[in-house]
A and B are shown apart, each in its own frame.
Chain A
Amino acid sequence: MSAPSYLHQQGLLSWFLTLDHKRIAVLYMVTVTFFFFAGGLAATLIRIELVTPQGDLLTADGYNRAFTLHGVIMVWFFLIPSIPSVFGNFLVPIMIGARDMAFPRLNLFSWYLLLGGGLFTLLALLLGGVDTGWTFYTPLSTMFSNGHVVAVICGVFIAGFSSIFTGINIIVTVHTLRAPGMTWMRLPLFIWAIYATSIILVLATPVLAITLLLVAAEHLFNVGVFDPRLGGDPLLFQHLFWFYSHPAVYIMILPAMGVVSELITAAGHKRIFGYRFVAWSSVAIAVIGFLVWGHHMFVAGQSMYASLVFSLLSFLVSIPSAIKAYNWSATLYKSDLTLHAPFLFALTFIGLFIIGGVTGLFLALLAADLHAHDTYFVVAHFHYIMVGAAVAGYFGALHFWWPKITGRLYSQLWGKITAVLVFCGFNLTFFPQFLLGYLGMPRRYHAYDPDFQFLNVLSSAGASILALAYVLPFFYLLGSLRWGERAPMNPWEAAGLEWRVPSPPPLHNFEEPVTVDFEAYDYSPEARRDPV
């Protein structure tokens, strides 16, 4: 009988004091799911309010607090930790042939930081909250806001360290703990994506830290860094904030892209087309993504010359993303495609990401952004990427690796129904918002011109379908824990080290040290699928 699985030991302390990367991943999963629904509740309030043109459900100030809560929770406590901290933690050591992450205690500490920061922020947001939007623009946040700005900032600051430590852990793990024979060019593309994400986590988050610190200092002590009366510059805040927050959106999308590379190859039982291109494109996105932050400030009074440079660079950053999309499509071409539930999510990702990405190019164009900035066009664009693509990526990962993580199979029928509902609900929710933005409806308004009502009603109807789709997995995934069939080692017939250990894996992942002598995505007929 082989070694007991990592889930064998019972008791609360075995979870709260665990040093096992797989258990920590599950802790993160529960945590981010909780925050997803908290943020989703705020979204529900927003969409219900927007069914009617008048502000009836919420006051203007209440609406401000609602979308702030939605943004803060979704960005920092769901999207950023979602794939790196859940699937990164679970899969990185197994995929590279290691027994655990490089710094297991730091890993557990990172989780506590996220949990603590998140609960603190949620508490502050619920006890009155903040009306500044998740972007905390000055001088509203520093001088005029009468909300719990400093409290929310503290929570986000703490969670930022969770990001930084997770990033450090992942980078060091990938550098030092690869099994013999696991060269860089044999790594699964998920690892490349998570590695690039970790570079961004490590280098961008500190700038957020100092920015938040300065806002808190200004709010408390009137320091004047962003106050024109003392010679400060409100636009400087935007520079510092977006210097982090634009790379942050790449933190949110890159891991999902890594997931899609895994899903597409497993769906088509075929090697990825252009491995090196896809691998280096992740790095390119990370690098160029650091140079485009000014495209959030085109209408803020920024220097025209700077705007030109940022616009050009924003066009350039789309190229590596496009390379990925082309390579995925080429991989699917003439492949032996089986459309199980996870792969439907992968296809959803590709379609919605392309729409989101292309509309991003519209916004990168200075002349078009002048009209589209601060309208629902922008809202639709980033939701196509962050929800349509990134959340689809998360759900795809959930459905793909669930048998490995839990050792159970779930109902494929319900998984596929969810995927279809997500696709339809999402498009119904957010496509009308492109049209609304084009027609001129501003964002962050709780009351709007009655001419916009029809599209808003469509959007809210779509949101209700989307909400249903997001709730469904609770039933069939959690139900599988009780009633699901036991999962075999490799239910998808996929390549990769994680599919050659039992489901769920044993405590230290591998019975014996692994030696790697195969390329990534080895779907040739002679490829070995036996347990390592």
Chain B
Amino acid sequence: MSTANALKVYVGLLLLLAVEVLVALFWPRNSSLIMLAAAGQFLLLLIFYLGLYRHQGWVRLFGCLYLLWLLMMMVFILGETATR
């Protein structure tokens, strides 16, 4: 990853941080917006800093499966408590 690109990602991360904090301070009911910004930050980190963009094929598939399955775990458990 070149220095220029690393800096671009960094700026993106900081912008999303600013969005999060501002929304939390001035529009506090919008938790989904905050978490979306956080998810955006996480994806930026995952794809660029952790370098997932470099991997193709099986690795990408397994990575997506893993994240999906983590999501499933959360959906199952949160869904169970919500439907009790």
Touch test A–B (CB under 8 Å): yes
**A residues near B, CB below 8 A?**
203, 233, 235-236, 239, 243, 290-291, 294, 301-306, 309
Q: What are 25 A-B contacts defined by CB distance under 8 Å?
A: A233-B81, A235-B81, A236-B77, A236-B81, A239-B77, A290-B69, A291-B72, A291-B76, A294-B76, A294-B80, A301-B84, A302-B80, A302-B84, A303-B79, A303-B80, A303-B82, A303-B83, A303-B84, A304-B83, A305-B80, A305-B83, A306-B76, A306-B80, A306-B83, A309-B76
* Contact assessment for A239 and B69 in the assembled complex, using a CB-CB cutoff below 8 Å: no
Identify which of residues 1-58 in chain B touch chain A, using a CB-to-CB cut-off of 8 Å: none
Report B's interface with A, CB cutoff 8 A. 66, 69, 72-73, 76-77, 79-84
The 4 closest A-B pairs by CB, nearest first: A306-B80, A303-B83, A303-B84, A305-B83
Distance between Cα atoms of A243 and B76 in the complex (Å) = 11
Query: Which chain B residues lie closer than 8 Å to A306 at the CB level?
Result: 76, 79-80, 83
Chain B residues within an 8 Å CB radius of A302 = 80, 84
Q: Give the nearest-CB partner of B69 in chain A.
A: A290
**A248 to nearest B CB, angstroms?**
15
Report the minimum CB–CB distance from B83 to chain A (whole Å): 4
Q: How far is B76's CA from A278's CA once the two chains are assembled, in angstroms?
A: 29
The CA of A233 and the CA of B78, in the complex, are separated in Å by: 12
Q: Cβ of B82: which chain A residues have Cβ within 8 Å of it?
A: 303
Per the bound structure, the CA–CA distance linking A207 and B60 in Å amounts to: 23
For the complex, what is the distance from the CA of A290 to the CA of B68, rounded to whole Å?
13
- Distance between B82 CB and nearest chain A CB, rounded to angstroms: 8
Q: Say whether B73 contacts A243, CB under 8 Å.
A: yes
Chain B hits for A233, CB < 8 A: 81
Residues of A within 8 A of B77 (CB): 236, 239, 243
Determine the chain A residues whose CB is within 8 A of the CB of B79 once the complex forms: 303, 305-306
| A293-B80 Cα distance, complex, nearest whole Å | 12
Chain A contacts for B83, CB-based, 8 A: 303-306
Residues on the B chain within 8 Å of A290, using CB: 69, 73
Contacts of A309 in B (CB 8 A): 76
> Min CB distance, A164 to chain B, in Å?
15
The complex places the Cα of A348 from the Cα of B56 at a distance, in Å, of 44
Other than the known A303-B81, A303-B82, what 10 A-B pairs have Cβ atoms closer than 8 Å? A235-B81, A239-B80, A243-B77, A291-B76, A294-B76, A301-B84, A302-B80, A303-B80, A303-B83, A303-B84
Most B CB contacts (10 A, CB to CB) among A235, A243, A302, A306 go to A306
